[in-house]
Amino acid sequence: MGGKTVISDHGRAPAIRRTAGEIAMKDNRGAFFREHKYVVIDDFASAPECRELLHAIDRCKNTIGLIKVSQTSVTSRKRFLTINGEDVEENIPAAGRLYAKVNELVNRLSGTDYAALENKQIGLSINVTPAGGTFSWHHDRHEITAILYLNELDGGGELEFFPNNRVLLKNNREGIRKWLQLGFDALGLAASLMTRRKVIVTPKPGVLCIMIGTKCTHRVRSVIGDRERVCVIFAYDVPGKDFSREVTGDYYGYK
């Protein structure tokens, strides 16, 4: 999927570009989230909070090192650096505290009792995407994904998604259903690109996007320019779901 295919490739259904100040859903965020399966909050974290986190992440680059993710297959392309939740909690406690704070917000908005994932490595992460880095169209394995942006970029790096566009089969990780799901996903993406409106979230310090990652097909556009895209990713699901290492062996953030 080339970087130039966005916005202009479905003129009948123009993209919705969400930037700070454009989101007029403050008073009714819960209702909006429950209907559309996403919400964007432009002032979740303050500028000093974001700066503090960025400094801590910079320190991690020198102390623990970041995990390099570089995977290309027929269906996906991932290219960025990451710090998994165990390292985040140990080295960047402020992000750990935010994991609990965002959990409360998600539960309030959704009216559902979501919980932090027991597998801390997956539940919380920080992604750093340099120029050329990207994450192609995909869905998440956990229901709720929240992304907090810490900085602004020279260009690219936008999160793009089609809200609630996925036909989601039950037990889609086993047997024939796994292949059926892949087929539905491919067709669903093709149909969405032709007919649906895409939400575009431009990175900006303090912006938080919450979505149902299993139902919204999403990607991160290639980063352009000298500034890295830095964001904190929070993952939640209903309590008790199995995200152990045995069933999540393909997770990109394991060391």
Positions that interact with Fe ion (CB under 5 A): 140
138 by Cβ neighbours in 10 Å (0-12 / 13-18 / 19+) ranks as middle
Please give the C-alpha separations between residue 181 and each of 194, 196, 219, in angstroms, as whole numbers. Answer: 20, 20, 18
Between 140 and 237, name the residue whose CB sits nearer to Fe ion.
Answer: 140
Between 52 and 248, name the residue whose CB sits nearer to Fe ion.
Answer: 248
Least Cβ distance, residue 135 to Fe ion (angstroms): 7
Please give the C-alpha separations between residue 55 and each of 48, 51, 81, 113, in angstroms, as whole numbers. Answer: 11, 6, 16, 33
Least Cβ distance, residue 147 to Fe ion (angstroms): 8
Between 24 and 37, name the residue whose CB sits nearer to Fe ion.
Answer: 37
Interatomic CA distance for residues 244 and 7, integer angstroms: 38
Between 204 and 215, name the residue whose CB sits nearer to Fe ion.
Answer: 215
Between 205 and 213, name the residue whose CB sits nearer to Fe ion.
Answer: 213
Least Cβ distance, residue 51 to Fe ion (angstroms): 25
Least Cβ distance, residue 213 to Fe ion (angstroms): 5
Q: Which residue has the tokens 């297959």?
A: 73
- The answer to whether residues 223 and 153 touch, using CB atoms and an 8 Å cutoff, is yes
Residue of 71, 67, 63 lying closest to 83 (CA atoms): 67
Between 140 and 143, name the residue whose CB sits nearer to Fe ion.
Answer: 140
Least Cβ distance, residue 218 to Fe ion (angstroms): 6
Least Cβ distance, residue 209 to Fe ion (angstroms): 11
Interatomic CA distance for residues 194 and 173, integer angstroms: 27
Least Cβ distance, residue 21 to Fe ion (angstroms): 25
Residue of 109, 132, 141, 110 lying closest to 233 (CA atoms): 141
Structure tokens at 95: 């992000």
By Cβ distance, which residue is nearest to Fe ion?
A: 140
Between 103 and 127, name the residue whose CB sits nearer to Fe ion.
Answer: 127
Identify residue 193 by its one-letter amino acid code: L
Contacts of 89 (CB under 8 A, 6+ apart): 95, 96, 120, 124
Q: Which residue has the tokens 């989230």?
A: 33
The DSSP code for 221 is P
